[in-house]
Amino acid sequence: MLNFNFYNPTHVVFGKDRLSEIATLIPENAKVLIIYGGGSIKKFGTFDKIVKALESFEIFEFGGIEPNPQLQTCIKAAEYIKENNIDFILAVGGGSVLDATKYISIAAKYYGNDYKSLIKHGFTPVPVTEAVPFGTVLTLPATGSEMNAFSVISDETGKYAVYSPLFFPKFSFLDPTLTYTLPKKQVANGIVDTFIHVVEQYITFPVDAKFQDRAAEGILQTLVEIGDYTLNNPEDYDARANFMWCATMALNGVVGSGVPQDWSTHMIGHEFTAKFDIDHGRTLAMVLPSLLRERKENKKAKLLQYAERVWGITEGNADERIEAAIQQTENFFNSLGVPTKISDYSVKKEELKDIITQLESHGMVALSETGDLTLDVAERILENAY
Amino acid sequence: MLNFNFYNPTHVVFGKDRLSEIATLIPENAKVLIIYGGGSIKKFGTFDKIVKALESFEIFEFGGIEPNPQLQTCIKAAEYIKENNIDFILAVGGGSVLDATKYISIAAKYYGNDYKSLIKHGFTPVPVTEAVPFGTVLTLPATGSEMNAFSVISDETGKYAVYSPLFFPKFSFLDPTLTYTLPKKQVANGIVDTFIHVVEQYITFPVDAKFQDRAAEGILQTLVEIGDYTLNNPEDYDARANFMWCATMALNGVVGSGVPQDWSTHMIGHEFTAKFDIDHGRTLAMVLPSLLRERKENKKAKLLQYAERVWGITEGNADERIEAAIQQTENFFNSLGVPTKISDYSVKKEELKDIITQLESHGMVALSETGDLTLDVAERILENAY
């Protein structure tokens, strides 16, 4: 097992009919800004419930956070916070709203003249010491942003991972019933995103981290078990609760502590979202199978463990078992309506080289758990994923 | 899945050769009190390493915390803290030292005249608002105290669970190499204690909490896999690392969130420790098998799941599979040198009624996940456990 630090102070409030408790977790007399996305929280009554829960506070609102939140929108929100002396932010939405809120929380305490500089530090903490405190109400399980310190912000040059210990929400409300009205496609994307978050931390090389492996497999097994069912039975509470909790546990440190991590599928996928505006979860599904095939020698031991423990595959030689596990993975994504080939999207084969160029321009030239997924390897992965 | 709150702000620093980092986590210029137990940390050099790591601080020490820490010892430590204006406590030891430190942290900020009143609140938070901040260096994996808000304190009338949100350590150092010198018996007790912590949160009734079940089974499977091996290969790092992390994960909220919890084996076991001074882990091992047999109808679905997923038992009718799983559990404990019958200890059969009397005097008259493990049921459990 590798050395690790585990620190996650977010207070999770999980379950149905608990939004009235929000007020107990916000400092008294705070001026509260509610940040949200496209307005579905108003359409389905969530906004009204929250406003009622916060009736003892002075409330402000800032809507219009887009999927893949844009730096310029976040800057507007940060300036709005400065103008109105907001004390606390409540993010209501999915990963995009939560990620935007994280960036906004530090930008609202930033008094320099280069907001863009705050998104260019990768996995090194942003050099800031203060943030507006914030909590979240999650409506779309997928990114794990509700219980971690990561954010992804986009500008005209690409998608950027941003990290700060200040990015842990003070609290996150996870109410599975708020997901009942989600479009099927978003739920499918969220299941795939969650699945691949785990894969990035699990299908690497073995370091004898037994509990972490079992926990990772537990999330993958659960997603396989409930995926198709929850898509077609959106109001089955327990299925949604299991999906929601798995999405959180997939990226809050529990399965990733003390193990190598890959993240190359994410880094390549981000470039497809940046260039072609393909949903994040879908970009992952179209890269992963080809990546696993390309890297099957590097990942051999874990792929065999994955085949056996997640898919029950024990027949055949090592190559056959690995290929069967990758095919099962593809079948699973396909069963959710998520394609697994780049050619299933409006991407021309000759545009694949643009993705390589973007990876290079973003410094993504030595990806993976061993740092040897170079651009030529990435190119082969994309060609075979087409 | 049941509604739940998950909140655990302890910062875990896991791995070898990291004690030098302690100083970075203690406030500058703090007067630091090191609390420890019987002195083995001095014998094996841990104390010296810590003193070196803290050379920039003014250090005080308080040793002599006994197993099943006694209220009177804790009060002495609290008064020592008041006299010396200590700012920060570093607990170095196993669960007893950590549990004692938790009580001491609030007692040192208590200015009333009834220290005993602080241990008589069960699982209701102790009504205090201030504690001396503390961190821990764990030397014996077992109780999970390093990453939770529970403590168990004894006085002449019994053992008492004490709970406060102030009881989360600020940080806990988990270095598997510090466990290399532990006596075999303590390691065996710790494995059994960890195993039964999980059982108390897992073998109840099903609520379709899929990840929590998989995580619980993952810990049990890991303990079965490494138990005998780590006893006999104390310096195999990974085996100890897996044991240590499982002990922490067993009782930090991850496996217990959103599921029913039992804890009757613990409540009954505590009475045996209080009366006969039998090691905590051993009291659990002698109660659990009989309790599972007595309660096999109440726990049927989860016992069958346990049989299949942890022990791979799929043959036979339901009763046979359950009995086989309980026998496997007994065999596992026995393989670690831990007996599973009360008669294996110096307890006379006629003294069992004293345990029932103690349970009654401590208000433990309706135990278990369904509150229907009454004293007559407890009596049958003990008779069959003899």
Q: How confident is the model at residue A317 (pLDDT cuts 50, 70, 90)?
A: very high
In a domain, B6, yes or no: no
Q: What is the pLDDT of residue A123?
A: 83
pLDDT at A121 over 90: no
Of A3, A207, A241, nearest to B1 by CB-CB distance is A241
Q: What is the pLDDT of residue B49?
A: 95
Q: What is the pLDDT of residue B220?
A: 98
Alpha-carbon gap, residue B171 to B32, rounded angstroms: 14
Subunit contact B11:A16, Cβ cutoff 8 A: no
Q: How many domains does chain B have?
A: 2
Subunit contact B3:A14, Cβ cutoff 8 A: yes
Of A12, A18, A238, nearest to B208 by CB-CB distance is A238
Q: From B11, which residue of chain A is nearest by alpha-carbon distance? A: A7
pLDDT at A203 over 90: yes
In a domain, A5, yes or no: no
Of A3, A14, A226, nearest to B4 by CB-CB distance is A14
Residues whose CB falls within 8 Å of the CB of residue B277, separated by 6 or more in sequence, listed in order: B68
In a domain, B361, yes or no: yes
In a domain, B4, yes or no: no
In a domain, B55, yes or no: yes
Residues whose CB falls within 8 Å of the CB of residue A339, separated by 6 or more in sequence, listed in order: A282, A285, A286, A333, A345
**Pair (A203, A59) in one structural domain:** no
Tell me which residues of chain A, numbers 236 to 265, contact chain B at a CB-CB cutoff of 8 Å: 237-238, 241-242, 245-246, 249, 254, 257-258
Residue count (chain B): 386
Which residues on B lie below 8 Å from A238 (Cβ)? 1, 207-208
Of A7, A211, A212, nearest to B12 by CB-CB distance is A7
Q: From A9, which residue of chain B is nearest by alpha-carbon distance? A: B9
In a domain, B129, yes or no: yes
Question: Between A and B, how many residue pairs show a Cβ–Cβ distance under 8 A?
Answer: 136
Q: From B224, which residue of chain A is nearest by alpha-carbon distance? A: A210
Of B3, B7, B208, nearest to A242 by CB-CB distance is B208
In a domain, A135, yes or no: yes
**Pair (B158, B134) in one structural domain:** yes
pLDDT digits (tens, 9 = 90+) for A98-109: 999 999 999 999
pLDDT at A159 over 90: no
Look at residue B312 and give its three-state secondary structure.
coil
Alpha-carbon gap, residue B197 to A153, rounded angstroms: 42
Instruction: Mutation target for B interface from A191, A245, A314: give the one with most B CBs within 10 A.
Output: A245
- What's the DSSP call for residue A70? B
pLDDT at A18 over 90: yes
Q: Are B187 and B230 in contact (CB under 8 A)?
A: yes
pLDDT at A122 over 90: no
Q: Are A369 and A205 in contact (CB under 8 A)?
A: yes
In angstroms, the separation between the Cα of residue B359 and the nearest Cα of chain A is 34
Q: From B171, which residue of chain A is nearest by alpha-carbon distance? A: A7
Instruction: Mutation target for A interface from B211, B217, B255, B257: give the one with most A CBs within 10 A.
Output: B211
In angstroms, the separation between the Cα of residue A116 and the nearest Cα of chain B is 31
Report the run of H or E that residue A9 belongs to, with start and end.
strand A4-14
Q: What is the pLDDT of residue B101?
A: 98
Q: What is the pLDDT of residue B329?
A: 98
**Pair (A201, A255) in one structural domain:** yes
Instruction: Mutation target for A interface from B6, B20, B229, B244: give the one with most A CBs within 10 A.
Output: B6
The whole-chain average pLDDT of chain B stands at: 97
Average pLDDT over residues A334-341: 98
Q: What is the pLDDT of residue B122?
A: 81
Look at residue A230 and give its three-state secondary structure.
helix
Look at residue A61 and give its three-state secondary structure.
strand
Average pLDDT over residues A89-96: 97
Q: Are B187 and B231 in contact (CB under 8 A)?
A: yes
Q: Is the pTM of this model over 0.95?
A: yes
**Pair (A188, A275) in one structural domain:** yes
Least confident of A16-20, A83-87, B113-117: B113-117
Q: What is the pLDDT of residue B158?
A: 86
Q: What is the pLDDT of residue B178?
A: 96
Q: Are B354 and B346 in contact (CB under 8 A)?
A: no
**Pair (A242, A351) in one structural domain:** yes
Q: What is the pLDDT of residue A158?
A: 86
Q: From A10, which residue of chain B is nearest by alpha-carbon distance? A: B7
Subunit contact B3:A9, Cβ cutoff 8 A: no
Average pLDDT over residues A196-201: 98
In a domain, B5, yes or no: no
pLDDT digits (tens, 9 = 90+) for B143-159: 999 999 999 999 998 88
**Pair (A138, A209) in one structural domain:** no
* Half-sphere CA count of B231, side-chain side, radius 13 A: 21
pLDDT at A352 over 90: yes
**Pair (A86, A37) in one structural domain:** yes
Q: From A206, which residue of chain B is nearest by alpha-carbon distance? A: B238
Alpha-carbon gap, residue B326 to B332, rounded angstroms: 10
Subunit contact B242:A1, Cβ cutoff 8 A: yes
Range of the domain at B64: 11-178
Subunit contact B219:A217, Cβ cutoff 8 A: no
Q: What is the pLDDT of residue A90?
A: 98
In angstroms, the separation between the Cα of residue A220 and the nearest Cα of chain B is 9
**Pair (B188, B174) in one structural domain:** no
Among the three residues B178, B207, B241, which one is the final residue of a domain in this structure? Answer: B178
Task: Supply the CATH number for residue A37's domain.
Answer: 3.40.50.1970
B226 in contact with A, Cβ within 8 Å:
yes
B219 in contact with A, Cβ within 8 Å:
yes
Among the three residues A136, A157, A178, which one is the final residue of a domain in this structure? Answer: A178
Q: What is the pLDDT of residue A197?
A: 98
Report the run of H or E that residue A45 belongs to, with start and end.
none
* Among A187, A179, A364, residue whose Cα is nearest residue A287: A364
Q: What is the pLDDT of residue B120?
A: 84
In angstroms, the separation between the Cα of residue A167 and the nearest Cα of chain B is 14
Q: From B218, which residue of chain A is nearest by alpha-carbon distance? A: A214
Alpha-carbon gap, residue B196 to B212, rounded angstroms: 15
- What's the DSSP call for residue B174? E
**Pair (A296, A371) in one structural domain:** yes
Subunit contact A13:B2, Cβ cutoff 8 A: no
Tell me which residues of chain B, numbers 2 to 61, contact chain A at a CB-CB cutoff of 8 Å: 2-16, 18
**Pair (B73, B137) in one structural domain:** yes
pLDDT digits (tens, 9 = 90+) for A253-280: 999 999 999 999 999 999 999 999 999 9
* Among B85, B90, B40, residue whose Cα is nearest residue B61: B90
**Pair (B38, B174) in one structural domain:** yes
Among the three residues A178, A194, A211, which one is the final residue of a domain in this structure? Answer: A178
In angstroms, the separation between the Cα of residue A236 and the nearest Cα of chain B is 11
Q: Are B167 and B221 in contact (CB under 8 A)?
A: no
Q: What is the pLDDT of residue A250?
A: 98
In angstroms, the separation between the Cα of residue A237 and the nearest Cα of chain B is 8
Task: Supply the CATH number for residue B325's domain.
Answer: 1.20.1090.10
Q: What is the pLDDT of residue B121?
A: 83
- Within 10 angstroms of residue A154's Cβ, the number of other Cβ atoms is 24
A198 in contact with B, Cβ within 8 Å:
no
* Half-sphere CA count of A123, side-chain side, radius 13 A: 6
Of B14, B15, B221, nearest to A214 by CB-CB distance is B221
Strand partners, B70: B154
**Pair (A346, A370) in one structural domain:** yes
Low-confidence ranges of chain B (pLDDT < 70): none
